[in-house]
Amino acid sequence: MNDFLSKLNKQQKEAVDYKLGSSLILAGAGSGKTLVLTSKIIWFLNNNIMQNHEFMAVTFTNKAAKEIITRITSQVMINPRHFWIGTFHGLCNRFLTTHFNEANLSRNFQIIDTLDQLSLVKKIIKDLNINSEQFQPRNILYFINNAKEQGLRPDDIEVNDNYSEVCNKVYKNYKLRCDESNLVDFGELILRTYETLKKNKILREHYIQRFKYLFVDEFQDTNLLQYKLLKTLSGSDTKLFAVGDDDQSIYSFRGARISNMQDVIKDYDIKNIIRLEQNYRSYNNILKAANLIISNNPSRIGKNLWSDAGDGDKIKIFRATDDFSESSFIAESINKLIKNGEKLRDIAILYRNNAQSRILEHVFFQNSIKYRVYGGVRFFERLEVKNVLAYLRLINDKTDNHSFERIINFPPRGIGNKTLLKIKQFSSENGLNYFESLEKIPSSGKLKNFINDFKNTIESIKNELATLNLEELINETIIRFKIDEYYNNQVDGLARGENLKELVNAGGYFENENSDETENTLLEFLNQAALESGESNNDFEAVQLMTVHSAKGLEFNSVFVSGLEEGLFPHENSISSEYDLEEERRLMYVAVTRAKHNLYLSFAEIRKIYGQTKYSIVSRFIDEIGEELVEYVNKKNSYNFINTSASIDLGNGISVGCTVLHKRFGEGIVIKIEGNKSDLRYQINFIDNGIKWLAADLAKLEKIN
């Protein structure tokens, strides 16, 4: 056996050497699956089991494809020009470029991206006189792409209601225009390849004879159409080597079909399931926790990760009073890790949804901890957040022309570039700002109504500034301008809606922290938002903030998984469905297995949604970890706060249960006291303003009884 095989463990060697038939390689996190896949190809080539033109290897990223090619060419003296190694989209593009006539395409067909698709859908909606507010272009595009992922043309789709009828009408028109203009989108690349092979027996038999071996990486991420394509390329003698991990199937929202893992065993008569269970990434305590969590999924094929690196430290669990305390604990723990020699870039904070980054970003900013939002943008730079901030800036200062221009037609209200240009010209000619121009510019009909509604709503909210706290102001702005309604109708509306809710929370936190220190709370909040978004987001030496979905395939020395509460992680939309709950558990499995040395899990007793306090219970995923594997940073049954009827000696006699008066928030009851004399703070349930945390030395409370 070649020298390079000597570095493989027993199971890896078995997977590489097996050549009797198709096989499924269950490759656990950190088990060296890419090494095994490439080693198998090299082994087969070096031993003349297959020739360089007799195999096709499919990956899910161009990076992975390049890595495989580089590894192969380092071990085999062969020109990679004949290799069919790449993504599904890349390989299908190659096929269609070669067989454009058979696919009913012209030689110079053009590939269009998602933005091009959206632009075409918008044009079709306009041409067909379809209401774009009722039938959002992004939603119709999702309908089209989802249909293609299932291998469905417009005539294949069963129409049951008006919505699907309209969507399918657009799909039919979309296909017609793409065919006329020789345009091919990403989904079409695979669907057109599949259809061409299905209907052309000679071509199909050619490729079945050519590709005697099919290698597929990340098999758990394949969708229905991709699996159909693989079966179309397979004959009775085809050997398929599928490498994947059903425990890491987390992309059902992208069309990934976990049942493909079970189907491939039956469809390819796989008798050889090899489990790669030795992990080269993490300490055993982390792996044991992952095994215990995922064992609660009854439909998995099954494997058990282990490591010879030793047990390592126990998993640390922090039970916070609220999300601010949770973020503060994470910041404090990061500083300790840095003092002990950890690099910032080797630390990651994982969360279920993007909105959770906001409070973390705020606390990190306060503590001068460099951070980077991996695969995304910082909270205050997100599109929906910036749109609301622009409204707030205009409410604060009607002379802000930049903000006016940003939101005059957001959400869409029929004010196009032509009208905006008219406003600009009128302003310039009359020495007015854009907002002032609205009152005097000649207008009529529908346009006049739009302008009046916009102007009056801005004025109305501005007049209420004195009576609204910051939370209420932000919330009212979102509601009155129907920003939440607009995003509710978008494909990505859930994530954007969560960010809007978190923006409301941000206002509340800011006001609590600065209630006695500023005259213009709104202006100071806007300035703070600008400061937090203004620093570079590209620092290499920075803590990595990311969703768990973004973390797949990555690893870090130290990992924090935050927000482990029922309804948040697992997400509330998944709890009622066993299928969805299993995917949430797989997501947790992915989160845990990102950690090499240190794993921290945290949850909050209280979390605010749209300014409303939500009392939470700990995620079931924490309960699924054995007690012997964890240690609580604070006591399991304690929230680390002072909860006593005895007065804290600050000279005011205030204790839990006291009724107090605050000059801004009014009357309320002290429900918790946290900290010591130097950093004492009160949690108060105000009658008119809800629950708030106030620093004892700044709050200036008056005890009523």
Report the greatest alpha carbon distance in the chain: 92
Buried b (16+ CB within 10 A) or exposed e, 408-447: bbbeebebeeebeebbeebbeeeebebbbbbeebebeeeb
CA 455 → CA 335, 404, 469, 483, 611, distances in Å? 48, 11, 22, 16, 27
Q: Is 366 annotated as catalytic? A: no
Q: Is 697 annotated as catalytic? A: no
CA 259 → CA 59, 245, 480, distances in Å? 19, 12, 45
| Residue closest to 39 by CA, chosen among 70, 66, 16, 64 | 16
What values do phi and psi take at 377, rounded to 5? -120, 160
Contact of 289 with 623, CB cutoff 8 Å: no
Helix (H) or strand (E) holding 145: helix 137-149
Q: Is 34 annotated as catalytic? A: yes
Contact of 202 with 101, CB cutoff 8 Å: no
Choosing from 149, 188, 218, 247, the catalytic residue is 218
Q: For residue 236, what are the contacts with CB-CB under 8 A and spacing of at least 6?
A: none
Q: Is 217 annotated as catalytic? A: yes
- CB atoms inside a 10 Å sphere around CB 168: 22
| Residue closest to 156 by CA, chosen among 168, 145, 167 | 168
Q: What is the 3-state secondary structure (H, E, C) of 165-233?
A: HHHHHHHHHHHHHHHHHCEECHHHHHHHHHHHHHHCHHHHHHHHHHCCEEEECCHHHCCHHHHHHHHHC
578 CB-contact burial (10 Å; exposed 0-12 / middle 13-18 / buried 19+): exposed
Can you tell me the distance from the alpha carbon of 191 to that of 62, in angstroms, rounded to the nearest whole number?
A: 20
Choosing from 149, 217, 400, 484, the catalytic residue is 217
Q: Is 231 annotated as catalytic? A: no
Choosing from 33, 352, 607, 672, the catalytic residue is 33
Choosing from 136, 196, 248, 544, the catalytic residue is 248
| Residue closest to 451 by CA, chosen among 414, 401, 406, 396 | 414
Radius of gyration of the chain (CA): 29
Choosing from 17, 19, 34, 613, the catalytic residue is 34
Choosing from 288, 319, 594, 620, the catalytic residue is 594
Q: Is 356 annotated as catalytic? A: no
Is the backbone peptide bond immediately before 570 cis, with ω within 30 degrees of 0?
yes
Collapse the DSSP code of 300 into the 3-class scheme (helix H, G, I; strand E, B; otherwise coil) and give the result.
coil
- CB atoms inside a 10 Å sphere around CB 534: 11
Collapse the DSSP code of 684 into the 3-class scheme (helix H, G, I; strand E, B; otherwise coil) and give the result.
strand
Task: Give catalytic residues, as residue numbers.
Answer: 33-34, 217-218, 248, 594
